[in-house]
Amino acid sequence: MTKDVQEFLRGRKDALYVHKSGPATQAYLAESLLAKGQNVVLVVPEAKQVPEMEALVRLFSRDEQDLFWKRRWFSLPAYPPEDPLHADPGAWSRRWLTLFALHGAVRPFGLVLSVENFLSKWPPREEVENAFLHLSVGEEISPDLILEQLISWGYRRSSMVGAVGEIARRGDILDVFPPGFEIPLRMEFFGEHLESMRLFEPLRQRSMEDVPDAIILPVAPALLSPESMSRAQACWQRFDATGEVSDRGHGALLRALERGDGRMAPGVYYERFSTLNQWIPENTTFLLSGSSQLRPRLEEGEWAWQAFLEETARENDCEAEVRWLRSSVIQPASSARLAWHNQPQMVFEDLLIGVDRQGVDLPEKTFGSFQELFWRPEARQRPWSTLMQALRTWQDERPQVLIAFHSDHSRNRFGTRLAEEGISFGESFDPRGQGVALVRSSLRKGLDLEWNGLLLLAEDVLQPDEKKGPARQAHKKGFAGLDSFDELSAGDLLVHRDYGLGRFDGLHRVRIGDAANDYLLIEYAGEDKLYLPVDRLNLVQRYKGPESASPSLDRLGGAQWSKTKERARKAIEKIAQDLVEIYAYRRVAKGYAYSPMNEMYRDFEASFGYEETPDQSRAIDDVLADMDLPQPMDRLVCGDVGFGKTEVAMRSAFRAVMDGKQVALLCPTTVLAEQHYQNFRMRMEHFPVQVAMLSRFVPKVRQKQVLEAAARGRVDILIGTHRLISDDVHLPNLGLLILDEEQRFGVKHKEKLKKLRKNVDVLTLTATPIPRTLQLSLSGIRSLSVIETPPVDRKPVQTFLLERDAGMLRRALAQELERGGQAFWVHNRVQGLEQVVEYVRSLAPEARIGMAHGQMSATMLEEAMHKFWHGELDILVCTAIIESGLDFPRANTLIVDQAQMFGLGQLYQLRGRVGRSERQASAYFVVNNLNGLPESTRKRLQVILDMDYLGAGFFVAMEDLRLRGAGNILGETQSGTISKVGLELFLEMLENEVRRLKGEAPREDAQTEMNVLYPAHIPEGYIPEARDRLHFYKALSSAGTNQAALEIEGEVKDRFGSFPEELRTFLEVVRLKRLLSSLKAVKADLLPGKVVVAWPDGTNGRKDEPGDSGGLDLAVLDAIVPWVLQHQDQARLLPPNRVELRFADKAANYRHLQQATTLLSELTPSRPASS
C-alpha cells in the first residue's frame, strides 16, 4: 500500500485522488476505512453498479450477519423518477433499512449508494426515531395492534405471504414479510402472548427455523399515524390557499389518505422533510467512484425528474402542481453535491483529462472468463490442471487468492477437490492472511488488484465452458435473438428468421379475446404487418450488415425471403468449405520438416545484440518447434510494438533459408517494408543470405531484376507490400510466408493469401490482431504465442486525454523539442491536412515540420519518411500511415487529433509509434468535446487509457473483441451475403454448415410456441417506459436457465417493486416455455384452468428411427404414457400428439402455470451427473 494511501487511512489527509482503480480496489479501501473506525459512504454513478460494490464490501468485511440491525454495511436502491403519490414500496422497504441504521448508528457504518439518491427528499429524522417494532418471544402484545400498526406503515393484507410488505392473519398466526429478511416471519400467539417466531419458506409455506427476536420496519414512505396525517392535511390546505396546489390536486391527496395509501413521496407528505445530507454524520469519509460522472448524473437525474413530473401533470391535468411537486420531491443537483463538500474524500478518476495528475495509481485488472485468465488453447483442454498449477504459483506469489462461490454446495464441492490436490484453503478474507480462501459472494467476474497482489475470482470465471453461470451473458453463437433493446427505436431494421427483413414499429398492446398482451409490431413491404409475441423475441435480430447496405424489406408470405436464405446458404456452403479446407487441409497436408539447426544458425542466433526476454525466447522456441513438424505451420505471434517480434521472424526466416527455402515477408505499407528490408539486410549481411525488396519505392528496372532473380531462386528473402502477391511474382522454393500486421491488408489481398498459405509455413506478426484472427487463435485452429515481457529499460507511454487546448499542446511540443526529440501529429483525414500543418506551425514556429499521407506520390512520401527517420524533421503531420509497425526511436511524443475518429486497435498501434527507447514517451488523445462523445467512443477511449502498461496489445485485442464482435471471417465473399441476411443469421448458418462439413450435428435452438389466452405481460402502470418493458421482455424471455431468470426478476423487483399478477403470469409462461422447449414440445395452448401441450407428429408411438419422433427425446416419449397414468386426475392424452392438463381450483393463472411446470418437469430425462 502506498504512503499516500496509508496516510489517508490514518486520517492525515483530507483528500486523495486515485487513478486506474476498479470496484474491488474501491471496496477494499472502503472496508479499510471502516475497520479503522470511520463512517464510510461509497458513491457510484449508476444504480446497476451498487450490487457488485455491495458484494465486494461484504466480502472484504466478512459482514455475514443474518440480522440486519447488526450489520456494518448497508446500501440504497436506485431512486428513479416515480409518481409522487405512488412510490415504489419495494424500494422503500430497502430504504427504511438504511434509514434505521443511520439513525440509530452507535458504531461506524458503511453505505453504498448511487448518486441520484442525494437528489431526493427523505422522511424527517424524528419520524424515523420510533418507526420500528422490536418484538421478542414471550412478550405480551396484541396481534391486532401489530396488524393495525403495520397496515399504517404500508403493509398489504394477503391470503398467503410471499413478498416483502405482505401480511396475513389466520387466527393466532400472523405472517409478515418485513424488510431486511430473506424469507418471511411467522408469529404464533396465545391470546396476546407471543409464543414463538420462526422463519418460513414462502413457496411451500413451511416453517424453517426459530428466531428469538425481530425488528420490523415500515415499507411505505408515509407513516399514516393520526398525528402525521393531521399535519399533512393542514400543510396541504395552506398550499391550496396559496395556489401552489390546485383544488383537484388537493382532492387527490386527501383521497390517498382516505384509502390509507402511504405511498406518497416524503416531501409531499411531511412538512419537515429531510435530505440525505442531513442523515450522514460529520467527518464521514466519502469514496467517489467514477467521480467525473457524478455531477452529470445528478444533473441528468434532475432533468429526468422535471420531465417526468411535467409529463405526469399533463396526463392528470394538474400542471399547476409541477413547481410545488418538484420542490417537494427533489432538491437541486447543486445542493445535492454538497453532501460530500468539506468531508474527507477519496476521489476515483476513471477518465482523466489533462496532464498534471494528482494522487496515486492503484491499477486493477478485470477477467470476464476462463479464456481471459488462461488464454492459451491448451489451458481449455486441461482446465483443472491449469487452474491447480496456477493456484500453487499464486500461493507463493500473492498475499491472498479469493475464490467466490454463489452457494455453499459449490464452495464445499470445490473445497473437497482442492483438498484432494493437497492445496490448503481458508473460508474468509483475511487482510493479513496468505494463500487461497473459498468464500460466499454474488461476485461474477475476476478482479486482480495489481497494486497489492490480491486476486479475486468468481466461480463463473473458472468455468472454461462458454455455458457459464446464470447471470453471465457468454459469447453466444447462432441466431441468439435480440441482444439489447437499449437503443432500439422505431424505424430500425429487424431480421425475422422465418419472414425476413422488416422495420420495427414499436411495442403494442393487442387484445385477443379476453386477453390483452404485448407484441412487437414489425412492418414489411406492401404495408404488411407482423405482431410478434414478446416471448418469441429469439426469432428476431437487429439487422447488421455492411454500413453502405440499404436492403429492401421482404413481403410477408412472399417467396423472396426463402430465395434470399437459399442463395445465402449456397454462398455460405462455399465460405464454410473454404474455412474448413484451409485449416483442415493444413492439419493433414504434407508440409516440410526442417533439418536440425546447424552451426551457422547458432552463429546467427548469437549475433543478436540483446538478451532475449523470456516471452520472446518462448515464442522463438514455439516457432522452431513448429518448423520441426511435417505439418505446415500456422502461428500467430502477438507482441507489443518493440517487444521483439521481428527477431522471431528473422530466426525462422534464417532457418528456412539454411534449408534451401525461400521466404516472403508481406507488409501493409511501403514504409514498413523499407524498414524491414533495412533491418533484415543489416542483420544478415555477414551471412550468405540474399535479401531483396518489392514495393512502389523500388524503380521499375530494379523490380524487374528482383523478379527474375526470385524466379531463379537467387533471392532468399523477399520483402514487400501486396506487390508480392501479384501474378508476376514467382518464388519456386517458397517455404515460409511471414505476414506483418495482417489486419491491414485489404479484402482482395486476403483472398489471395488464403490460396498462397495452403502448403507453406505461415508466421503472422501483430501487436493487435483483428478479432477474428484472435478468435481462431484462441480456439486452437491457429497456434498462438504472446510476447508480454518488455525489453529492459522500456517505459510505458504516458497517455492523456485532452479537450482541445492550444496552450497545453504548445507546451507538449516544446517539451519534446527541447530534449532533442521528435513528435507525430496524427490527423484522421487527408483532406485538410495542409491546414493542420499550418495550425501545428502556429504552435511550434521554430520546428521543422513535414507532412505524410497515403495519397502522396511514392517519391514525396519516401522523402518525408526518410527525412523524419534521419532526424531532418522535428514534427511529422500525417495520417494513420505511421500506424503499422514503423520504428522511429527518437520520436517520443504523439498527438492524435480527433482521437474519437479512430478505432481501438488503431489508437493502440499509433501509441506504439513512440516510446521505442529508454526515454519517457507521451501520447495525447485530443477531442473537441468530451461530453458530446457517444458511450461506445467513451468506452474505447477508456480502454486505451486504462491499458497504458507495457504488453497490453493482446488485452486491447480482447477488449476489441467485446466492442466489435465477430469481425472479418474469410474475406470478400462474405460481404454480399451478410447484406442479404444480416450478420447474426449469417453466423448461425455458417456455423451449422461448418459443423455439417465436420460431420457434427447442427446446433438446435427450437422454441415451443406459446399461445396465451389470458393476460400475461408487463403492465404499463408497472413499467411506464416502452423501452424498459422491451428490455425486460428480452432479458426474461431469453434467460437460458431458471436461475438466470430469477436474477433478472430480482432486478425488476428492485427497480419497479412487487410483481403485479399479469407479470407473474408472464414469468411463469416463460418458465414453462423453457421447460417445454427442452422437452421438444412444438406448441402449448394456455387457457384458464387448462394447459394443452403438443409434440411433433409421430410422437404417439415408438418409432424405430430417432428422426421419426420429430426431434423428440425418446426418453421423454417413453415417459409420457406412464406419466399421464400417474396423474390421470389432472392429465389426459389427446391423440395423436397432445397432452392436456386441467386444474379444478379457482387459483390465479400463474398458480396453474406453476403447477403445470412442476408436473411436466417429471418428464425431463434424467442425465448422469457430470464429473
Q: What SS3 class is residue 454?
A: strand
Flag whether pLDDT at 67 surpasses 50. Answer: yes
pLDDT band at 651, cuts 50/70/90? very high
Q: Strands 783-787, 634-639: parallel, antiparallel or unpaired by DSSP?
A: parallel
Cell numbers linked to 976: 454480399
- CATH, residue 1039: 3.90.1150.50
Flag whether pLDDT at 132 surpasses 80. Answer: yes
Flag whether pLDDT at 482 surpasses 60. Answer: no
247: which residues sit within 8 A by CB, 6+ positions away? 240
Give domain status of residue 140, yes or no.
Answer: no
User: 767, 787, 807: which is the final residue of a domain?
Assistant: 787
Contact 91, 51 (CB under 8 A): no
Highest averaged pLDDT of the listed ranges 599-608, 976-985, 1062-1071, 1117-1126: 1062-1071
- pLDDT at residue 951, as a whole number: 53
Q: What percent of the chain has pLDDT over 70?
A: 83
Flag whether pLDDT at 998 surpasses 90. Answer: no
Flag whether pLDDT at 972 surpasses 50. Answer: no
Nearest to 994, CA basis, from 779, 785, 784: 779
235: which residues sit within 8 A by CB, 6+ positions away? 271
- pLDDT at residue 779, as a whole number: 45
Contact 478, 991 (CB under 8 A): yes
Cell numbers linked to 524: 414489411
Question: Alpha-carbon distance 716 to 709, whole Å?
Answer: 10
Mean pLDDT for the stretch of residues 778-788: 66
Same domain, yes or no: 122 and 160: no
Same domain, yes or no: 420 and 453: yes
In 629-685, alpha helices (H): 645-658, 670-683
Residue 423 exposed, middle or buried by CB count within 10 Å (0-12, 13-18, 19+): middle
- pLDDT at residue 380, as a whole number: 61
Sequence letter at residue 549:
A
Q: Integer distance in angstroms from the first to the last C-alpha of the chain?
A: 42
- pLDDT at residue 963, as a whole number: 39
Same domain, yes or no: 808 and 778: no
334 membership: H or E segment, kind and range: helix 333-336
- pLDDT at residue 463, as a whole number: 63
Flag whether pLDDT at 983 surpasses 60. Answer: no
Q: How many CB atoms lie within 10 A of CB 439?
A: 21
Question: Alpha-carbon distance 720 to 733, whole Å?
Answer: 17
Cα angle 459-460-466, degrees, rounded to a multiple of 5: 140
8: which residues sit within 8 A by CB, 6+ positions away? 16, 344, 346
Flag whether pLDDT at 465 surpasses 50. Answer: no
Same domain, yes or no: 330 and 405: no
Cell numbers linked to 553: 424489406
- pLDDT at residue 719, as a whole number: 95
Cell numbers linked to 676: 524491414
Same domain, yes or no: 115 and 157: no
What residue numbers bound the domain in which 779 lies? 589-787
By mean pLDDT, which of 312-321, 436-445, 485-494, 1133-1142 is the weakest?
485-494
Residues paired with residue 206 on neighbouring β-strands, in sequence order: 201
- pLDDT at residue 958, as a whole number: 46
Contact 946, 919 (CB under 8 A): no
Same domain, yes or no: 300 and 323: yes
- pLDDT at residue 777, as a whole number: 47
Instruction: Give the residue with greater pLDDT, 846 vs 967.
Output: 846
243: which residues sit within 8 A by CB, 6+ positions away? 320
Give domain status of residue 582, yes or no.
Answer: no
pLDDT band at 826, cuts 50/70/90? very high
Same domain, yes or no: 761 and 642: yes
Cell numbers linked to 704: 524487374
Cell numbers linked to 619: 515464442
User: 301, 321, 349: which is the final residue of a domain?
Assistant: 349
- CATH, residue 197: 3.30.2060.10
Question: Alpha-carbon distance 48 to 175, whole Å?
Answer: 32
Give domain status of residue 301, yes or no.
Answer: yes
User: CA-CA distances (angstroms) from residue 413 to 385, 419, 618?
Assistant: 17, 10, 36
Same domain, yes or no: 341 and 386: no
Same domain, yes or no: 685 and 804: no
Total domains in the chain come to: 6
Contact 876, 826 (CB under 8 A): no
Nearest to 1057, CA basis, from 47, 51, 87: 87
Q: How many CB atoms lie within 10 A of CB 696?
A: 17
pLDDT band at 315, cuts 50/70/90? confident
- Virtual torsion, Cα 158, 162, 166, 171, nearest 10 deg: 50
Same domain, yes or no: 771 and 822: no
Residues paired with residue 823 on neighbouring β-strands, in sequence order: 875, 893
67: which residues sit within 8 A by CB, 6+ positions away? none
Cell numbers linked to 36: 479503522
Q: What order do you get walking across the sheet with 156-157 strand by strand?
A: 156-157, 166-170, 173-176, 185-190, 193-201, 206-210
450: which residues sit within 8 A by CB, 6+ positions away? 363, 364, 365
Flag whether pLDDT at 444 surpasses 60. Answer: yes
- pLDDT at residue 129, as a whole number: 84
Same domain, yes or no: 750 and 844: no
Give domain status of residue 416, yes or no.
Answer: yes
Strand ranges, E, within 898-1033: 922-927, 1009-1012
Instruction: Give the residue with greater pLDDT, 70 vs 95.
Output: 95
Instruction: Give the residue with greater pLDDT, 772 vs 83.
Output: 83
By mean pLDDT, which of 173-187, 214-228, 291-305, 757-771 is the weakest?
757-771
- CATH, residue 832: 3.40.50.300
Residue 841 exposed, middle or buried by CB count within 10 Å (0-12, 13-18, 19+): middle
Nearest to 113, CA basis, from 51, 174, 161: 51
Backbone angles phi, psi at 5, to 5 degrees: -65, -45
Residues in the chain: 1171
- pLDDT at residue 1003, as a whole number: 64
Question: Alpha-carbon distance 940 to 429, whole Å?
Answer: 34
Flag whether pLDDT at 883 surpasses 60. Answer: no
Query: What digits encode the pLDDT tens for the residues 158-202?
Result: 877 878 899 988 778 899 999 988 889 999 898 899 999 999 877
pLDDT band at 770, cuts 50/70/90? very low
Contact 116, 304 (CB under 8 A): no
Residues paired with residue 330 on neighbouring β-strands, in sequence order: 120
Give domain status of residue 899, yes or no.
Answer: yes
Q: What percent of the chain has pLDDT over 90?
A: 28
Sequence letter at residue 537:
L
- pLDDT at residue 1080, as a whole number: 86
Same domain, yes or no: 1018 and 1149: yes
Flag whether pLDDT at 1162 surpasses 70. Answer: yes
Buried-state track 302-335, b at ≥16 Cβ within 10 A, e below 16: beebeebbeebbeeeebebbbebbbebbbbebee
- pLDDT at residue 977, as a whole number: 55
Question: Alpha-carbon distance 511 to 152, whole Å?
Answer: 38
What mean pLDDT, rounded, does the chain reach? 81
Contact 404, 459 (CB under 8 A): yes
Nearest to 1040, CA basis, from 1016, 1092, 1012, 1005: 1005
- pLDDT at residue 903, as a whole number: 79
Question: Alpha-carbon distance 965 to 973, whole Å?
Answer: 19
Contact 894, 911 (CB under 8 A): yes
User: 949, 964, 990: which is the final residue of a domain?
Assistant: 949
Flag whether pLDDT at 531 surpasses 60. Answer: yes
- pLDDT at residue 884, as a whole number: 54
Give domain status of residue 100, yes or no.
Answer: yes
Give the orientation angle of helix 858-869 with respect to helix 670-683, to 10 degrees.
Answer: 50
Q: Strands 213-216, 133-136: parallel, antiparallel or unpaired by DSSP?
A: antiparallel
Q: Mind spelling out the 3-state secondary structure of 995-1035?
A: HHHCCCCCCCCCCCEEEECCCCCCCCCCCCCHHHHHHHHHH
Question: Alpha-carbon distance 1121 to 1163, whole Å?
Answer: 10
Give domain status of residue 536, yes or no.
Answer: no
- pLDDT at residue 479, as a whole number: 41
Give domain status of residue 40, yes or no.
Answer: yes
Query: What digits encode the pLDDT tens for the residues 353-408?
Result: 666 667 888 999 888 888 788 877 666 656 777 888 889 999 888 889 999 988 77
- CATH, residue 402: 3.40.50.11140
Query: What digits encode the pLDDT tens for the residues 652-684?
Result: 999 999 999 999 999 887 778 888 998 899 889
- pLDDT at residue 623, as a whole number: 95
pLDDT band at 631, cuts 50/70/90? confident
Contact 70, 316 (CB under 8 A): no
Nearest to 499, CA basis, from 592, 453, 565: 565
DSSP string covering 709-742:
HHHTT--SEEEESGGGGSTT---TTEEEEEEESG
- pLDDT at residue 585, as a whole number: 65
Q: How many CB atoms lie within 10 A of CB 688?
A: 9
Query: What digits encode the pLDDT tens for the residues 1051-1095?
Result: 777 556 678 899 999 999 999 999 998 888 889 999 999 999 998
Locus of grid cell 499550418: 838
Query: What digits encode the pLDDT tens for the residues 504-527?
Result: 888 888 887 778 888 888 998 888
Instruction: Give the residue with greater pLDDT, 313 vs 711.
Output: 711
Q: How many CB atoms lie within 10 A of CB 933?
A: 17
